[in-house]
Amino acid sequence: MKKLVLTLAFLLIFTPSLTWADEFQVAVASNFQAPSELIAAAFQKKTGHKAILAFGATGNFYAQIKNGSPVSIFLAADSKTPKKLEDEGMAKAGSRFTYAQGALVLWSATAGYVDDKGEVLKGGKYAHLAVANPEKAPYGAAAYEVLKNANLLAQLEKDKKLVTGENIGQTLQFVETGNAELGFLAKSQVWKDGKFKGGSGWLVAPNLYSPIMQDVVILKSAENNKAVEDFANFLRGKEAKEIILSFGYILPSK
């Protein structure tokens, strides 16, 4: 027994790779759900650490974090919200960086419904168009920009054709279930390996809305948590970048 104890003590002292697995909470903007699940699984396989993911609207997560939610790291759908947390002293200084640039699409679960130039929007033959809440979801704000630029927003609101999702995940559900014939979504939700996963869609021209730069930031409560720091670094690495690209995101230039 004494020999076994001494052996374990030797391993703990002299084996640098022997570390304890850790768990931590990650708040993830709904548009990034699918890639984050793959990234978290790859990270756990490599390190043993488990990232526990929660999905929702960026604005809602901000409110929850302000109210003391035990989040260690936040993958937002914009750059403004993580910077705000940083400026307010609620995030680790210098931990914020852009992990992806998002893209907006107009999509329908029905094949052939949405043309590749988005002309279906102007026809007005649909009963409902789904959008995420522009006050809480950056992709919703981008959708409103597109509709304003096309001079369609006022008429759609007057005709009560807009169906608003709490976040971009719920907006996708509206379209998938047929509660809305079409909707503005994150490209990543309906795109994989260079094509739409089904239905029909329009890749919205990027000049019609402000760039969707998605930032990550480590929260103050986790500033000394090595597992969280490792996750942030993993997000910058080759394996994570390949996953991000496969869902139609643009990688940041730096």
pLDDT digits (tens, 9 = 90+) for 178-235: 999 999 999 999 998 889 999 999 999 999 999 999 999 999 999 999 999 999 999 9
Q: How many C-beta atoms lie closer than 10 Å to residue 68's C-beta?
A: 8
Two structure tokens written together for 30: 């709904």
* DSSP state for residue 251 in the 8-state scheme: P
Quote the domain boundaries for residue 219. Answer: 23-101+211-246
Residue 136 has pLDDT above 50, yes or no: yes
Q: Are strands 200-203 and 104-108 parallel, antiparallel or unpaired?
A: antiparallel
Alpha-carbon distance 228 to 26, whole Å? Answer: 9
**Single-letter residue type at 26:** V
Into how many domains does the chain fold? 2
Helices 80-87 and 58-66, packing angle to 10 deg: 10
Q: Are residues 146 and 51 in the same domain?
A: no
Nearest-angstrom CA–CA distance, 104 and 38: 21
Domain contains 134 = yes
CA distance 241 to 96: 17
Q: Is the pLDDT of residue 49 over 70?
A: yes
Percentage of the chain beyond pLDDT 90 is 88
CATH of the domain at 200: 3.40.190.10
